[in-house]
Chain A
Amino acid sequence: MRGTQRRWFSISFTLLCLALTAGLLQFVRDRLGDESTFTGWTLLSATAGLYLLTARKKMIRQRLGPVAGWLQMHMYMGVFASCVFLMHIGWPIRGIFETALASAFVFVAVSGILLGVISRTTPMRLAAIKQDFPYERIPQMQLAVATDAHEVALDSTAFDEGATLSEYYQRRLLPYFQTRRGFFYVMFPTGGKRRALLRELADLDRYLGEYGVGSRKHLAKMVQAKDDLDYHQALQKRLQLMFMAHVALTWALAILIGVHVVMVYRFQGFM
């Protein structure tokens, strides 16, 4: 099955399951059945299905299909569980414990949805850059670029064409090469800084001699290389942080769900 077909099949199947659940809920509601129990157990089943991906990741040696397939199932089941969650809760949510449970679910669900979106868009944005950089080696490469830029800046003073470039390097480029980008850049990486520095560097040409212009061009390449590395790092770090956020509350959520189920049945007199 090709990717597009697989996607349409998955979307259709998820919508079918949702329609079926909504229809059954209406049926239960019209028949004076216990709709909370119906949606509750459906939600619990779907949520338990979401944890199967974690279990699959643990089982490396068993032949249970590729993790990518499980991930697909996890994503569509997540969408299904989120919709059933909306059917299950009464609005507005009341009670401190119930609010905590719903918040945890919403946090996991929203972070999962964002993770899905980011994981779909990030490869395209990374592919826009000519070169691939392994995430864990980016700091090493950033260091190399910074070292090269420093040498170019020092060398530019040896041609007696003035200290314009070196002063500019010290004032503007040194912090750029030597420090990491901020959290806002990691979440929303843009080329604003890169464009600003390149424009400033181009504006220095009127003060530079022949060799100075050559050094300036060299520094401009270093700026672009650093920005590419930062961009790579930011996109991948964002993905990593979102994944961390998605995973962080999973077990806490499982505990809250367990307490919720026990309390419901205990208070109804069935336990």
Chain B
Amino acid sequence: MDSGKQNVTSPRPKPNNSWVCGNFEMGASCPKGPSEDGKCCHAISKANGESPEELASELPCQPRKSPRFSRQDIAINFAILSAGILLLCMTAPQREELYVPGGLSHAHAQILDNALVSERCSLCHPNSHPDAAPGLLQDQLCMTCHTAHIPDATRRSPHDLTMEELRTIRFTPNEQQKTMLMSATDETFCAQCHIEHRGGEHDLKAMADKRCQACHREQFESFAIGHPQFSDYPNIGERRFAFDHRAHAGEYYAKKNEEFDCRSCHLDASQAGVVGSVFRSVGFEKACGSCHTESMRSEFTNGWAFLQLPCLPEELVKSGPSDLADWPLSAQFGFDGQVSFAARLLLAGEPTLPESMRHLPSDGQISKTADEHLEQTASGIAVAYRKVVREIANGGQAAWRKRLESSLTQILARDLNEHELDLVRQVSVGLPPDLFRQIEQHWFVGNEQLTQDSSDLPIPALSDQREQNVFRFVSTTLGAQDDLLGEDDADDDLLLGGWDDDPPETKPSKATKLVKLNAAIHLEEGGWYLDDQFLALRYVPRGHSDPFLSAWGELITIVERNRPNSAAEDTRHPWSKEDLNLKNAIPGSCLECHQLGEGTTSQASAGELWANWRSEKRPANLRQFTKFDHSPHLSLPAVNDCQYCHRFDTDSKAADQSFASLKALMENMQPDDNYRSRLVAMQGKIQNYLGCEFDSIEKAQCVACHRPDGAGDSCTQCHHYHVGTEGFLWSQPMRRAQQK
């Protein structure tokens, strides 16, 4: 066994030789060895005619590949095999399933599974298929489906905000200090956070807290440790309703011996909003109606005297303008009567009238007008009334609308915008022209002229005329026909020229005894009627949120808000700025609760400002920076008391003045030169008071449950990422107000 030394007759093969002699293992290899192409040296020698004695091995062999080259052969064969399999897979019909790097999440899978196999990849991946749209980025394909609910995500910026919006949250207003760092890039990609092909159970929205802190400067360990305290959460922002929670909880409910339950006004289990089933308000009827409906009705027992014929002295009627010749006898006993702000607005279109109406006192009582202007003002208003009644009696709602538009255009010194025209239409809806015709026929004498002069107008059928003349009021809500005033029908018939043929069956019997009209009883659902006693056209609202009253309120406020700053220019308004008390001008105590507000406005945003009639309702798909769902919290015994989180501010910034005292101060303010500025200041105080009624929630209250081992404390549990401009504005109500 001499193995250590080199055997010269049978040397070890060179490692770089491709082939080895087949007899080598048995110690009989030839020194020459196989050729490079693997042929035995015996065969080569035989072919060349050499002697076999020169060869060490007696027998020819089958040369074998050297180990190194056999390894390479195997590697190359495997590579060829792999390439072949890959190519084969690419031609297979199920190639997408072979190459897909994992299953889709359930949300995407249920959509894409319906697509054709050839289209499935190209729906999300550009260039993945010959049919895919060229030149698109993957994010653009994502947004083809996701634009509807996150439209601003197309900006591909942090939080889907514009650069200007980002700048406002990156810098604190006072210190100009960065509160938010730039991310790795200001351009974001969907796949940065939403990683697909991780299987059906993978949560695409799952986000590690660390990733949020990639951009946010204020680094902290967890919600419990390091997260900033809440300073103004939930931020109240601007209030649309002046509701004093403290007074209701501590005073009003206590007087009625009732429990003050937040849920009765804020919880509506039948709806789902941004913060669950809790809303700013569930509506007047549900929240306030039980206490306030009756008091509201009592204000309108006899209705609102929209238009009341003033009383004039008999001498003035006789010696005055010819238009007053038929002035009702019952209104000829001296100066009396009240001119509503609405009537003043209606009459403002008269060329000379605004100036004379400005002499009226703030409550519109003619008798309180200064003596030197009394006669002129009263007669001017009476003539204008006469003209208005005749116009509307002839022209109907169109005449009413035209006059109102004309008055507003003259006061505002501009064309009306869309919202204002809509308001004018609203106050025209349901206006009964036949009541104006009845004023003509019943209150003014010598009115035969009406039918003769109006021959150009389309005269209704006789039966219709009779019907209109028989009934003295019309309900705007029901269109009801009342037969209470049938006693005068004989006169009406005569005025209209009597019956040509058989009288209609609806003619009330003369024997019918009708009770006296009582608005509280007969106009329970609201509407217009004529008050013969006070010669007034009255309106009884339908109840809360009466469209006619609210439209009037808005129109009057628009007029007031567009008053010129300079007193010299302020000649178009039918009342002086000192005279206006919005509470008087808008009947029904609307402004007790609705914060129509003061301040500047623009023509374009007028419609939005008047949205203050309704409580602020956030869109259901709104994404603010902070999200909260009341529903799961209210099901927990520990926190189902609303006041666990919403506690009254015991150290209010406005604690020196209670809400009631502020309101009383505002109501008792006397008109003077500084009235308006003081009014605005007072309304600001009220807003401040309402804005700090509640303490900010303590972070510790949330931390009690929201821990990593409890209810969870990840950033995305309480914060949205995809905010967009709308969410940005809703998240910062005060900033939104400033922008407007």
Question: Which residues does A use to contact B, with CB under 8 Å?
Answer: 28-34, 60, 90, 94-98, 104, 131-134, 136-137, 139-141, 143-145, 225, 240, 243-244, 247-252, 254-256, 259, 263, 266-269, 271
Complex Cα distance, B75 from A43, in Å, reads 21
Complex interface: chain B residues within 8 A of A34 (CB): 191-192
Contact segment of B78-86, B326-334, B493-501, B607-615: B78-86
Pairwise interchain contact B127-A271, C-beta atoms closer than 8 A? yes
| Contact among A94, A136, A141 with B24 in the assembled complex (CB-CB below 8 Å) | A136
Complex interface: chain B residues within 8 A of A267 (CB): 121, 125, 127-128
Complex interface: chain A residues within 8 A of B138 (CB): 268-269
A252/B183 contact (C-beta < 8 A), A32-B192, A269-B137, A269-B138 known: no
Confirm or deny: B67 has a beta carbon within 8 angstroms of a beta carbon on chain A. yes
Complex interface: chain A residues within 8 A of B188 (CB): 32
Complex Cα distance, B130 from A74, in Å, reads 41
Pairwise interchain contact B211-A30, C-beta atoms closer than 8 A? yes
Complex Cα distance, B12 from A254, in Å, reads 34
A255/B86 contact (C-beta < 8 A), A30-B213, A136-B25, A269-B136 known: yes
Q: Which of A131, A141, A243, A269 has the most chain B CB atoms closer than 10 A to its own CB? A: A269
Pairwise interchain contact B27-A137, C-beta atoms closer than 8 A? yes
In whole Å, how far is B688's beta carbon from the nearest beta carbon of chain A?
41
Pairwise interchain contact B78-A249, C-beta atoms closer than 8 A? yes
Complex interface: chain B residues within 8 A of A144 (CB): 1
Residue of A nearest to B26 (CB): A140
Confirm or deny: B644 has a beta carbon within 8 angstroms of a beta carbon on chain A. no
Pairwise interchain contact A269-B99, C-beta atoms closer than 8 A? no
In whole Å, how far is A93's beta carbon from the nearest beta carbon of chain B?
8
Question: For the complex, would chain A's binding face be called helix, strand, loop or mixed by DSSP majority?
Answer: helix
Complex Cα distance, B211 from A145, in Å, reads 71
Pairwise interchain contact A29-B184, C-beta atoms closer than 8 A? no
Pairwise interchain contact A95-B75, C-beta atoms closer than 8 A? no
Pairwise interchain contact B1-A255, C-beta atoms closer than 8 A? no
Q: What is the 8 Å Cβ interface bit string for chain B, positions 668-710, against chain A (1 contact, 0 not)? A: 0000000000000000000000000000000000000000000
Q: Which of B75, B102, B137 has the most chain A CB atoms closer than 10 A to its own CB? A: B75
Pairwise interchain contact A136-B99, C-beta atoms closer than 8 A? no
Contact segment of B193-201, B293-301, B548-556: B193-201
In whole Å, how far is A47's beta carbon from the nearest beta carbon of chain B?
15
User: How many interface residues does chain B have, given as a range?
Assistant: 35 or more
Complex Cα distance, B128 from A140, in Å, reads 60
Q: What is the 8 Å Cβ interface bit string for chain B, positions 188-216, against chain A (1 contact, 0 not)? A: 10011101011100000000101101110
| Contact among A136, A141, A244 with B12 in the assembled complex (CB-CB below 8 Å) | A136
Complex interface: chain A residues within 8 A of B125 (CB): 267-269
Complex interface: chain B residues within 8 A of A95 (CB): 99-102, 197
Complex interface: chain A residues within 8 A of B24 (CB): 136
Complex Cα distance, B101 from A251, in Å, reads 22
Residue of B nearest to A228 (CB): B1
A139/B82 contact (C-beta < 8 A), A247-B71, A266-B128, A269-B137 known: no
In whole Å, how far is A259's beta carbon from the nearest beta carbon of chain B?
6
Would you list 20 pairs from A and B whose C-beta atoms are within 8 A, ordered by A residue? A28-B184, A29-B210, A30-B214, A31-B184, A32-B192, A33-B184, A94-B102, A94-B103, A95-B101, A95-B102, A97-B98, A137-B25, A137-B27, A140-B26, A145-B1, A244-B67, A247-B74, A250-B75, A268-B125, A269-B137
Complex interface: chain B residues within 8 A of A96 (CB): 97-100
Complex interface: chain B residues within 8 A of A28 (CB): 184
Complex Cα distance, B1 from A267, in Å, reads 65
A94/B75 contact (C-beta < 8 A), A31-B183, A136-B25, A141-B1 known: no
Complex interface: chain B residues within 8 A of A225 (CB): 1
Confirm or deny: B351 has a beta carbon within 8 angstroms of a beta carbon on chain A. no
Pairwise interchain contact B82-A32, C-beta atoms closer than 8 A? no
A31/B13 contact (C-beta < 8 A), A251-B75, A269-B137 known: no
Q: Which of B70, B89, B127, B208 has the most chain A CB atoms closer than 10 A to its own CB? A: B127
Question: Which residues does B use to contact A, with CB under 8 Å?
Answer: 1, 3-4, 7, 12-13, 16, 20, 24-27, 67, 70-72, 74-76, 78-79, 81-83, 86, 89, 97-103, 121, 125-128, 136-138, 183-184, 188, 191-193, 195, 197-199, 208, 210-211, 213-215
Residue of A nearest to B74 (CB): A248
In whole Å, how far is A207's beta carbon from the nearest beta carbon of chain B?
30
| Contact among A141, A243, A251, A256 with B3 in the assembled complex (CB-CB below 8 Å) | A141
List 3 A-B pairs, minimum CB-CB distance, nearest first.
A94-B102, A251-B79, A269-B126
Residue of A nearest to B82 (CB): A252
Complex interface: chain B residues within 8 A of A137 (CB): 3, 7, 12, 25, 27
Complex interface: chain B residues within 8 A of A32 (CB): 183-184, 188, 192-193, 211, 214-215
In whole Å, how far is A73's beta carbon from the nearest beta carbon of chain B?
21
| Contact among A60, A240, A243, A263 with B99 in the assembled complex (CB-CB below 8 Å) | A263
Pairwise interchain contact B210-A94, C-beta atoms closer than 8 A? no
Residue of A nearest to B27 (CB): A140
| Contact among B81, B99, B195, B213 with A97 in the assembled complex (CB-CB below 8 Å) | B99
In whole Å, how far is B137's beta carbon from the nearest beta carbon of chain A?
5
Complex Cα distance, B26 from A254, in Å, reads 39
In whole Å, how far is A271's beta carbon from the nearest beta carbon of chain B?
7
Pairwise interchain contact B192-A136, C-beta atoms closer than 8 A? no
In whole Å, how far is A121's beta carbon from the nearest beta carbon of chain B?
21
A247/B75 contact (C-beta < 8 A), A33-B184, A137-B27, A266-B128 known: yes
In whole Å, how far is B715's beta carbon from the nearest beta carbon of chain A?
13
In whole Å, how far is A150's beta carbon from the nearest beta carbon of chain B?
15
Complex Cα distance, B79 from A254, in Å, reads 8
Pairwise interchain contact B78-A98, C-beta atoms closer than 8 A? no
Q: Which of A30, A137, A255, A256 has the most chain B CB atoms closer than 10 A to its own CB? A: A137
Q: Which of A97, A254, A271 has the most chain B CB atoms closer than 10 A to its own CB? A: A97
Taking A30-B214, A137-B7, A249-B78 as known contacts, 7 extra A-B pairs with beta carbons closer than 8 A to each other, sorted by chain A number, are A32-B184, A90-B102, A94-B102, A94-B198, A244-B71, A247-B75, A267-B127
Complex Cα distance, B78 from A140, in Å, reads 33
Complex Cα distance, B121 from A269, in Å, reads 12
A133/B184 contact (C-beta < 8 A), A30-B211, A140-B27, A266-B127 known: no
| Contact among B16, B67, B82, B97 with A256 in the assembled complex (CB-CB below 8 Å) | B82
| Contact among B99, B136, B198 with A90 in the assembled complex (CB-CB below 8 Å) | B198
Complex Cα distance, B16 from A210, in Å, reads 54
A94/B101 contact (C-beta < 8 A), A32-B192, A136-B12, A136-B24 known: yes
Residue of A nearest to B198 (CB): A90
Complex interface: chain A residues within 8 A of B76 (CB): 251
Pairwise interchain contact A139-B25, C-beta atoms closer than 8 A? yes
A131/B75 contact (C-beta < 8 A), A31-B214, A95-B102, A255-B83 known: no
Residue of A nearest to B67 (CB): A240
Complex Cα distance, B191 from A269, in Å, reads 13
Complex Cα distance, B70 from A244, in Å, reads 9
Complex interface: chain A residues within 8 A of B4 (CB): 131-132
Residue of B nearest to A33 (CB): B184
Complex Cα distance, B103 from A98, in Å, reads 12
Complex interface: chain A residues within 8 A of B198 (CB): 90, 94
Complex Cα distance, B12 from A133, in Å, reads 12
Residue of A nearest to B86 (CB): A259
In whole Å, how far is A81's beta carbon from the nearest beta carbon of chain B?
18
Complex Cα distance, B281 from A204, in Å, reads 107
Residue of B nearest to A132 (CB): B4
In whole Å, how far is B631's beta carbon from the nearest beta carbon of chain A?
32
In whole Å, how far is B203's beta carbon from the nearest beta carbon of chain A?
14
Complex Cα distance, B215 from A267, in Å, reads 28
Residue of B nearest to A254 (CB): B79
In whole Å, how far is A155's beta carbon from the nearest beta carbon of chain B?
19
Complex Cα distance, B195 from A180, in Å, reads 55
